Amino acid sequence: MSPLQVACDVSRLDLGRPSGAAAYALFVLDMLARDGSVELCGSSPAGVVLSLDGRFRAGRRRSVAAVMDIGHLLERGGYSPGDWLAQNWRVAGAARRSDHLLVPSAALAAGLHRYLHVDEARVTVLAQLPGNDFRRPPRAELEGLRRRLGLPAQYLLFSGTGSRRKNLGLLGRAWAIARPRLGGTELLLAGRGATLAGFRSLGWVEPAALARLLGGAVAWLNPSLYEGSPIGALEAMACGTPPLVAATGAQPRAVEGSGLALDPHDPAQWAEAISAVVQDAGLRSSLSRAGLKAVAGLRARAPGPGALVRALGGEPAGGG
């Protein structure tokens, strides 16, 4: 049986320095390429169109579109007026006009059903897992990175973009409350555009180095107003680092007993949580062990691309 031809144009994504949709696109494309039942054709004509860059492509062919973010429906303040309009147009268009939707979490699938009345049968969940680089690093690797980047002896880490919905201002307010209790501990930022006045920003960090950076952190912090994928928290957990996340979107279910889920509008609560994880080695150790165990379980049970291949081919979600 000849492979299903699928057109997938990812030219608008920065695959050289991937984050967000680009990182998810690489995960999906790699999985499909290894499966062998799908032939990826770039932007060439094919029987099916797979849109992984957030843009719906109309036409007579079957279309499957990835949706990564519906935060604009829950936290309007996380988006500028222009960004809100663009995001609303993209998501509503994909939900209304695509034959099928691909999402990275059950939380996002539930949100599409609740807020946009998307039939659950039209949605496939394919959760991204941490890559092989993300593991608890040996001490020698940590020390090498510490010397190369001039890292402090003890630090907390935010990694992600600097977009408005990432809610970095809350971290600044929480840190102002917590810092007097924490001695020489520092807060570092990593990622494209991730900046906050008074804090050191490392810019974009390649995955292998990011894994070591995560592994050396006391905790990973993400107060984002909405995340459709919990991949950042899972990467931290895979490196043995407890995640402190906002109690919204896909993150809380992913961290469960491996981290702390907090109110994204309460800097005092974040300050208390930061102080606790820095000062209590027993708490850190307990959360770290739980995270490593949780990610190992997810990797052992990782599904293949079968559900997505069936969706691309127009088969029922429960088909063989």
How many other CB atoms are there within 10 angstroms of residue 161's CB atom? Answer: 16
Determine which helix (DSSP H) or strand (DSSP E) holds 187, and give its type and residue range. Answer: strand 186-190
How many other CB atoms are there within 10 angstroms of residue 70's CB atom? Answer: 22
Model pLDDT, residue 39:
85
Instruction: Name the percent of the chain lying above pLDDT 90.
Output: 72
Model pLDDT, residue 198:
87
Mean pLDDT value of segment 64-91 = 92
Mean pLDDT of the chain: 91
Mean pLDDT value of segment 262-291 = 97
Burial class (CB in 10 A: 0-12, 13-18, 19+), 256: exposed
Chain-centre distance for alpha carbon 176 = 27
Model pLDDT, residue 41:
82
Mean pLDDT value of segment 38-67 = 81
Q: What is the pLDDT of residues 17-36, one digit of tens each?
A: 888 899 999 999 999 988 88
Which residue pairs from 134-140 have beta carbons closer than 8 angstroms and sit at least 24 positions apart in sequence?
134/207, 134/211, 134/214, 134/235, 134/238, 134/239, 135/211, 135/215, 135/238, 135/239, 136/215, 136/238, 136/239, 136/240, 136/292, 137/211, 137/212, 137/215, 137/216, 137/239
Q: What is the pLDDT of residues 128-183, one digit of tens each?
A: 999 999 999 999 999 999 999 999 999 999 999 989 999 999 999 999 999 999 98
How far is Cα 267 from Cα 241, in angstroms, rounded to an integer? Answer: 21
**Residue 43 pLDDT greater than 80, yes or no:** no
Q: Comparing 42-51, 152-161, 281-290, which segment has the lowest mean pLDDT?
A: 42-51
Mean pLDDT value of segment 285-295 = 97
CA atoms within 13 A on the CB side of 278: 23
Model pLDDT, residue 1:
64
Model pLDDT, residue 57:
67
Q: Which residue has the tokens 């050396």?
A: 216
Mean pLDDT value of segment 82-111 = 93
Model pLDDT, residue 58:
60
How far is Cα 91 from Cα 235, in angstroms, rounded to an integer? Answer: 26
Q: Are 233 and 206 in contact (CB under 8 A)?
A: no
Mean pLDDT value of segment 282-296 = 97
Q: What is the pLDDT of residues 191-250, one digit of tens each?
A: 988 898 889 999 989 888 999 999 999 999 999 999 999 999 999 999 999 999 999 999
Instruction: Name the percent of the chain lying above pLDDT 70.
Output: 96
3-state secondary structure of 142: helix
